[in-house]
Structure 1
Amino acid sequence: MAGVYKLEIKESSTELKNLLRDPKTASDKERVQLLYLLKSQQATPLQQAAELLGRHRVTIQTWARMYRQGGLEQLLTHKPASGAPSTLPPWAEEKLKQRLEQPKGFESYEEIRQWLASNLGIEAAYKTVHKWVYYRLKASPKVVRPRSEQQDQAQLETYKKNWQRTWRC
């Protein structure tokens, strides 16, 4: 019969049930769930298991092949996420963080970008610098704006006390 995939599951259904209780990741839980469904015969063909798990049939077949080749250990191993290497190395991130903590900050993200290029030799796009500073380092390039020396302190204190009342309707 076409589409029938025989898989010998070595673990007992109670072992698999125990593994389902505390998986390391959601993906691990789905993979163990596949074995549990097949072992307890709640899903006999892989197509039915795929429908129950909400995964594509090819994904389920890949998981079954992984289990057949290396058992539970191979099924639960994950490839490290690949991706582009970071444009800002850890040492540069640390120097930027230290520079952002200084009282004299940066005027803009463009100024940060220029500082990275001139002091650290790192060419980075404006968007990249913004992402690193704002989202990753949780910092802001803004500096404290100058205050007038003629400012009346008593008037400022009165405003601070009453500013909420002025905005209420």
Structure 2
Amino acid sequence: MYNLPEIDEPVDWLDAQVRSEQDAQVQRRLQMLLLLKTGEAKSRSAAARHLGVHRNTIDNWLGLCGEGGIKKLYEIQEPGPAPGQQSIPPEAMKALKRRLSEPQGFGSYKEIQRWLAEEQDVDLCYSTACRIVRYDLRAKLKTPRPSHPKKATRSK
């Protein structure tokens, strides 16, 4: 188990900061320090349970505190990838669009994933390949799904 860092700020000062903070994200970070300082939470996991976050989040917040002091806890970064960052290069995206526009298309998203790996040298997880095709390209698989045999023999 990791040792908890020494928190230098006084309890009454931390309590006042938690109460006066308007930003909920910063407030939770300060609340974490208060919980650890007062001993109400004796571990990272206990603090995480109390605040409803993952223990790694607590570890990250404590790391920020260790890097730049309490001031670092006030710096909230935008989540997600940097603007313009793509999981698939533009050339591969163009090739995928072309391939999806062909009549035969693909039979499954797994097939798309394999095609990207083999033809474009792009390794994507299944869910990313799915998201790109369905939501970014707004395309559908061209191969129709097989119908159940009983449906085909049913008379009208």
> What TM-score, normalized to structure 2?
0.49
Q: Answer with 1 or 2: which has the greater Rg.
A: 1
> What TM-score, normalized to structure 1?
0.46
